[in-house]
Structure 1
Amino acid sequence: MAQSKQLTRWQRLRLRLMRATVRGLACLPRSFVDKVLVPTLDWLLYHLVKYRRQVVEENIRLALTDCSPAEQKAIARRFYRHLAELMLHEARYAYGSDEQVRQLFRLEQTELLDQLYEAGHRQIFVLLGHIGPWELMGSSALHLDQSRYQLHVIYKQLHDPVADQLTHEMRERHYAHCIEMKQLARDILRHRTQEDSSRMQIYCLLADQTPDYELVRYATPLLGRTTPFITGWSHLATKLAIPLVFYQIRLDTEAKQWVGTFRLLCEHPSSERQYQLIDEYVTLLEENIRLAPHRWLWSHRRWRFDPHDFAGVTYSPRCHDQEQE
């Protein structure tokens, strides 16, 4: 909470109002949220505000070429309903009781973490994409033995200090710790020397973000489009021998629960495989997206940069295979 002291008086007031609003949403009956608020926000986003509609529809049109125009339009329309659900249910994910959050989602293949722990690993990267309620990853500590595992959420600081403070608080509500992306390498090294060696440090990272313009280094095909990816995590993993795990997100419609599944990406990264690891991550990411395309965050401008405009970009061999096709 030390961050709030750096805010101005007006910003602290905004923070209190926003915090009260979010907590109020968390207290509303879920049936009221789903039947009244979600359809209303969905209509506002799609019809009135038209929130990034051009970006969403263009992304889907160019990426999901195996779908007909009618199917693409349906996916775009379903995306806004999903986005409304995410925005309104995020309060429940953060401010619900531990038991309520446990009922919202479950973890599968947690024995993979136990296997890595027993093999002597005390730091791992868990990679995921902007699919479904990705913020629930920060609450995964509720399903883990906290005497054995410490979960960290890696985030990029928001420009609005009030929104950044509130988001930071919400992500730490269920025993996770937040680490700003620029501090990740320093904290990993600090954990190696200062933390209790009996606990495994789990670093959760949304790895499908677009790198900043000056940081574009590697591009590989995603949904048929040459796409730049952040590379910092692969560099750290290979340099510090940190195992990589993919976190798949899906919805169990029968149980009405979100499901997070751990899948091993690589236990022993090596410098020779640094970029290959990104390709393997993208393969799993695309597989996860295609389970339910409307649940990926299509409103991000992931293809705003043309990688061919950068002289120092390394291209995946898959890019050449794609061009030959």
Structure 2
Amino acid sequence: MKELPVRKQYYLLWWLFLAIAWLPFPVLYLISDVLYGLLFYITGYRKKVVFQNLQRSFPEKNKEEHLKIAKQFYRNLTDILVETIKLAVISPEQLKKRVQILNPEVIEAETSKGKLVLAMGGHQGNWEWAPSGGIPFLNCPIDVVYKPLSNTFFEAFVYGIRTRLGPNLVRMKDSLRFLIQHKKQPRLFCMLSDQTPPKSEIQYWTTFMNQYAGFFVGGEKLAASFHMPVFFIHAQRVGRGYYNFKFIPIEPAGAALQSDYPITEQFARMLETWIHENPSDYLWSHRRWKHERPVGS
């Protein structure tokens, strides 16, 4: 892990997180149950955002159905929180029992040719476990694009748990430079591609869950520049604390041919399909639709 932040007020929190991480999974999920009650019933953490997102994304569903999805979403969210902390101490053997990559051969078929490969995912299932869980299954380095956190303590802790089992983190602003430096090395380059760009940086708008949404197009530009095959990361929660992931080729076809950014368009359609199949496993507390599409864009 990164060095412990110098500021002493963070020492107790650091050791508290490590103490929680050492707890067995049954106890962690008891903590998760308590957190669920606190977030949903007491503090109402981002409930307005969650219900607004659900109502607009699923206008065909009634209030009871929205409530059911919301409750399960908060349960999943608190599970992800304790599972992410568990990354601080979990062994590779433990994680391999809980995370399965169903078709690593499709990535190896490309990296065996010396290619860089781009994997585009969203906030699905436990996105924090996916990179570390993929290390035992893939015979190539795994790089993950990220944005550093502003708080020095959380940046040090999160950076440490994300990298301790092998994944390499690449700052978003350094992506192009990094790929130039490693263009002759077969690697899996992963991006969470459903994040909301700053309004001034949105280059592509499309409908997404019954609303217009702006998308980053950096992944598509990198794929074109480095001739990278592109895959969608499909996640599945198969049980509490158990996840499967598989790679599906993103092939810009059909309606996507009418788009200036066909890979980004196809990613949006694939993620939308996944959300309809797994509605409570998406990150509904995220303000994904906070920007309005400018007239004429």
Partner Cα separation in structure 2 for residue 93 and residue 294 of structure 1: 23
Instruction: Give the counterpart letter for 1:225 in structure 2.
Output: Q
Tell whether the 8 Å contact from 2:195 to 2:215 is kept in structure 1 after alignment: yes
Task: Give the corresponding residue for 1:143.
Answer: 136
1:90 matched to 2:84: yes
CA distance in 2, matches of 1:82, 1:131: 10
Contact 1:211 1:230 in 2 (8 A): yes
| Aligned counterparts of 1:201 and 1:274: Cα–Cα separation in 2 | 27
What SS does the aligned partner of 1:149 have?
A: coil
SS in 2 for 1:67: coil
Q: Which residue is equivalent to 1:71?
A: 65
- Equivalents in 1 of 2:264, 2:222: separation in Å? 12
Q: 1:203 aligns with which of 189, 214, 218?
A: 189
Shift of 1:274: 5.5
What amino acid is aligned across from residue 140 of structure 1 in structure 2? G
Matched, 1:101 2:95: yes
1:249 maps to a residue whose letter is A
Ranges in structure 2 where 5+ consecutive residues have no aligned partner: none
Equivalent in 165, 170, 173 of residue 174 of structure 1:
165
2:87–2:162 CA contact under 8 A, matched in 1:
no
- What is the TM-score normalised by the length of structure 1? 0.84
Distance 2:137 2:205 in 1: 35
Q: Corresponding residue for 1:129?
A: 122
Give per-residue Cα distances to partners, 1:281-322, cap 9 Å, x unaligned. Answer: 11111122122211100011111100125x6x4xxxxxxxxx
* Corresponding position of 1:26: 21
* Structure 1 SS opposite 2:100: strand
Q: Which secondary structure state, in structure 2, belongs to the residue aligned with residue 178 of structure 1?
A: strand
Deviations 1:258-286 (A, max 9, x none): 0011111149xxx9975111111111111
The worse-fitting range, judged by mean Cα deviation, of 21-30 and 129-138 is: 21-30
Aligned: 1:293 with 2:279: yes
Residue 122 (structure 1) shift: 2.2
Q: Does 1:187 align with 2:178?
A: yes
Residue number in structure 2 paired with 1:320:
none
Distance, in Å, in 2 between the alignment partners of 1:216 and 1:153 is: 22
- Pair 1:262-2:247 in alignment: yes
Code of the residue aligned with 1:18 in structure 2: it is L
1:2-17 aligned within 5 A: 4=3, 9-10=6-7, 14=10, 16-17=11-12
Quote the Cα distance in structure 1 between the aligned partners of 2:137 and 2:12. Answer: 33
Q: Distance in 1 between matches of 2:168 and 2:245?
A: 19
Q: 1:226 Cα shift?
A: 1.0
- Cα distance in 2, alignment partners of residues 86 and 49 from structure 1: 18
Superposed displacement of residue 22, structure 1: 2.3
CA separation of 1:142 and 1:229: change in aligned 2, threshold 3 A? same
Amino acid at match of 2:102: E
Aligned pair partner of 2:32 in 32, 38, 43: 38
Q: Report how far residue 63 of structure 1 moved.
A: 0.6
1:216 corresponds in structure 2 to 202
The letter for the 2-side match of 1:237 is A
Partners of 1:87 and 1:37 in 2: CA distance: 10
- Give the alignment's Cα RMSD to 1 decimal: 2.2
* 8 Å CA contact retained: 1:235, 1:274: no
* C-alpha separation in 1, matches of 2:27 and 2:106: 38
Contact kept, 8 Å, 2:95 with 2:133, in 1: the verdict is: no
Distance 2:134 2:127 in 1: 14
CA 128–170 in structure 1, closer or farther in 2 if over 3 Å, else same: same
- Using a 3 Å threshold, how does the CA distance of structure 1 residues 304 and 55 change in structure 2: closer, same or farther? same
Matched residues, number: 293
8 A Cα contact 2:54 2:284, kept in partner: yes
Which secondary structure state, in structure 2, belongs to the residue aligned with residue 189 of structure 1? helix
User: Quick one: distance in 2 between partners of 1:155 and 1:308?
Assistant: 28
**Structure with greater proportional helix content:** 1
Aligned-pair distance for 1:13? 5.2
Residue 191 of structure 2 aligns to a residue in which SS?
strand
Unaligned runs of 5+ in 1: 314-325
Moved >3 Å (runs of 4+) = 16-19, 271-274
Aligned-residue identity in percent: 23
